[in-house]
């Protein structure tokens, strides 16, 4: 808090900020963490929010009122959403990269591990891509929808249809004899 106070000139504003800090810091962290689901990023978002609050101290009359609380909530939510969007952009995989990954898996020089891997390679790309992202890479349906720019419902449909096709391919392949 000393860092924040050192940036404030008047004693009256310092006192106001101190009260704001004590009153709202936990709530701000909770709001940021609810959006970001990452404690370290949430701390950074709260820090940025306090810096923005310092820049707008003149807009705050009373510390403990609904108007002030709403103002602070809006600030921390907007900053947390900005952090979330930035993280999402940085973690995005383009569809071209996914196509390259799928294409690499079809090369003859990569040893096939088992019948399931072989069956997945026989699936159409739209099903194999979603199944790989979901089960090999561990992405959630929401993350897959963001990566592929399709709806979550479309992701669920592709997973469902892909599983059915995969089961059919595996059932047909189970007739072969090993020996």
For the ranges 53-57, 139-143, 157-161, the one whose mean pLDDT is highest: 157-161
User: What's the pLDDT tens digit per position in 139-148?
Assistant: 788 877 877 7
For residue 178, what pLDDT is reported? 44
What pLDDT score was predicted for residue 93?
52
Q: What is the pLDDT of residue 156?
A: 93
Angle at the Cα of 57 from the Cα atoms of 82 and 79, rounded to 5 degrees: 5
Convert the pLDDT of each residue in 70-127 to its tens digit.
888 888 988 888 888 888 776 655 555 455 444 444 444 444 446 677 777 788 878 8
Is the separation of the CB atoms in 145 and 151 below 8 Å?
yes
Distance (Å, whole) CA 76 – CA 6: 21
Predicted local distance difference test score (pLDDT) of residue 111:
46
Question: At 15, is the pLDDT very low, low, confident or very high (cuts 50, 70, 90)?
Answer: confident
Q: What is the pLDDT of residue 82?
A: 85
Contacts of 123 (CB under 8 A, 6+ apart): 131, 162, 165, 166, 169
Amino acid 55: pLDDT: 83
SS3 per residue for 51-83: HHHHHCHHHCCCCCCHHHHHHHHHHHHHHHHHH
Within 8 A by CB and 6+ apart from 57, the residues are: 8, 13, 16, 17
Overall pTM > 0.85: no
């Amino acid at each position: 808090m000393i860092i924040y106070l050192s940036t404030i000139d008047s004693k009256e504003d310092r006192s106001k900020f101190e009260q704001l800090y004590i009153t709202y810091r936990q709530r701000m962290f909770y709001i940021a963490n609810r959006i970001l689901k990452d404690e370290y990023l949430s701390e950074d978002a709260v820090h940025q929010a306090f810096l923005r609050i310092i820049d707008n101290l003149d807009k705050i009359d009373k510390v403990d009122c609904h108007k002030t609380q709403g103002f602070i909530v809006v600030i921390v939510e907007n900053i947390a959403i900005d952090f979330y969007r930035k993280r999402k952009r940085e973690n995005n995989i383009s569809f071209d990269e996914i196509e390259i990954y799928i294409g690499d898996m079809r090369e003859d020089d990569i040893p096939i591990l088992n019948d399931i891997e072989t069956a997945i390679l026989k699936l159409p790309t739209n099903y194999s891509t979603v199944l790989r992202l979901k089960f090999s890479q561990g992405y959630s349906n929401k993350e897959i929808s963001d990566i592929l720019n399709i709806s979550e419902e479309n992701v669920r449909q592709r997973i469902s249809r892909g599983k059915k096709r995969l089961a059919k391919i595996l059932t047909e392949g189970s007739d072969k004899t090993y020996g």
